[in-house]
Amino acid sequence: MRIGIDCRTILNPGSGERAGVGHYTYFLVKNLISINQEDQIILFFNSLIPKEAAENFVGSHSNVEIKFFPFHKYRHYLPIVYSHILVSSFLAEQKLDLYHNPANIIPLRYKGKSIITIHDLAIYKNAGWFPSKLSSRLFSTKLLIPSSIEKAAKIIAVSENTKNDLREIFKIPENKIEVIYEGVELVSEDKIKDSNYLKNKFKISGNYILYLGTIEPRKNIAGLLRAYKELRIRNPELNNLQLVIAGSKGWKYGKVFELIEDVNKQFGKEVIKYMGYVSAEDKLALMTNALCFVYPTFYEGFGLPVLEAMAQGTPVISSDISSIPEIVGNAGILINPYKISELSEALKKILTDKSLRERLSAAGRERAKEFNWQKCAEETLKVYKSI
C-alpha cells in the first residue's frame, strides 16, 4: 500500500520545537515509520523545509520517501490555486492508495481515497474565540472543512468530545469516526532542569503556580488571574506564591496583560510573571518544578498541556468541560471555568494540602501512561488497513 501523509505542519523536522497539530503529526509519523516496514510511506513537506532535516527525520527506513510540494512561492500569491489545485495535482501524480492529512483538510480538487484527523471544532462552538477575518473564516467553515469531512473515507477524532461534536454539527455516522488519543513523551527526571536552573535563568525562586499555553480568550487566562487575585486577598498565608504564565501571544491578548499589570500594581510587586514563549526544555522544567499546573480552558479538542503536566507528576487543576475530563479522569481537580470562586477554592485546596498534591502527582503519572504515541500509531495504522 502507498500511504501519503501530509507533514507540512512539521515546520522543522530537525527541531525540538513543536506545538499543536505539528506536534501531533511529528510523533504520529515518527512512530508510524518505526512500526510499519511493509507499506510504502510517502511524507509530503513544503519545499522550504531543509532537505537534510527531513532526511534525518526519516533516518534509514527504506520504505519511506520524502516529497516536497513544488511551486511553494504561489502559496502567498495564489493561496487557493496552490492549496487546492497544484497540491491536488501533485498528490494525484503519486498514485497513492491513501492520503492522510493530520490537519483536517483535503484539497478541494483531490479525488483519491483519504482520511483526516480532526483535533477540535472550537470555531463552530464559539466563533468569537477566533480572529474575525470573515472571508477566510467562511471559506474554511462553510466550504473547506465540510467538504473534507464529506470526502474522507474515515475521520480520526482525538477525543470522544471531538467525535461527539462531529456528530452533533455535521450529522456524521458513528462508524465513520475513529477515536484515537494523542500520546505524551515520558521524560526521565535526570533530563529535566531543576529549580536552580529556573532561579538563574528566569529569576523564579520559591513555590509557584503555572499556566502554560497560548494567550487567547479561549484559554480563560483572565479567569485565572481573577481567581489568583481572590486567592491572595482571602489567604494572606499564600502571598509568597507567584503565578507564572508562559506561552506565545495569540489574539485578543491585551486584556490579559492589563489584568497582569493591575494585579501586580495592587500588590506592589511582580506576583504574576509572564515568561513569553519558552523552549521545550524550559517548558518541562517549569512544569516539573511548579507546585501545581492550572489550565482553566473553555474548550479543548484534546488538551495536551494538561497531559504533559500529569506525565511530569505536577498536580493539575483544569476544566470540567469538553475533552479535559477524558484526559484527566480522577487524577486532577476539575472545576467549572466560568466560576471564578470555584477556581480560587481549588487553588487554595491544592496549595494547602500536601498529601493531596502527592496523591494527585502519583495519580497523574499513572494516568499519563495510558496515552502513548506508539499506541496512537498502531491504532492509526489499523484505520489505514481497514480502508
pLDDT tens-digit map of 37-79: 999 999 999 877 788 888 888 888 899 999 999 877 777 777 7
What is the pairing mode between strands 208-212 and 177-179?
unpaired
For residues 364 and 380, membership in a common domain is answered with no
14 pLDDT more than 70 = no
Residue with more model confidence, 18 or 42:
42
- What is the extent of the structural domain holding 207? 189-368
For residues 300 and 163, membership in a common domain is answered with no
130 pLDDT more than 90 = no
> What is the CATH classification number for the domain harbouring 115?
3.40.50.2000
pLDDT value, residue 188: 79
For residues 118 and 213, membership in a common domain is answered with no
For residues 166 and 205, membership in a common domain is answered with no
195 pLDDT more than 90 = no
DSSP-assigned states of every residue in 100-127: EETTS---TT--S-EEEEE---HHHH-G
* H/E element, 316: strand 316-319
Greatest CA span in the chain, whole angstroms?
67
pLDDT band at 18 (very low <50, low <70, confident <90, very high): low
pLDDT value, residue 302: 96
For residues 60 and 166, membership in a common domain is answered with yes
How is residue 357 written as a grid cell? 498534591
pLDDT value, residue 136: 77
pLDDT value, residue 134: 65
For residues 144 and 206, membership in a common domain is answered with no
For residues 335 and 267, membership in a common domain is answered with yes
pLDDT value, residue 299: 97
For residues 331 and 382, membership in a common domain is answered with no
Give the tens place of pLDDT for each residue, 250-280: 989 999 999 999 999 999 999 999 999 999 8
How far apart are the C-alpha atoms of 336 and 177, rounded to whole Å?
A: 29
158 pLDDT more than 80 = yes
Task: Give phi and psi for 303, each to the nearest 5.
Answer: 95, 55
The number of folded domains in the chain is: 2
Could you give the 3-state DSSP secondary structure of residue 363? helix
For residues 122 and 39, membership in a common domain is answered with yes
For residues 244 and 381, membership in a common domain is answered with no
For residues 138 and 220, membership in a common domain is answered with no
For residues 178 and 200, membership in a common domain is answered with no
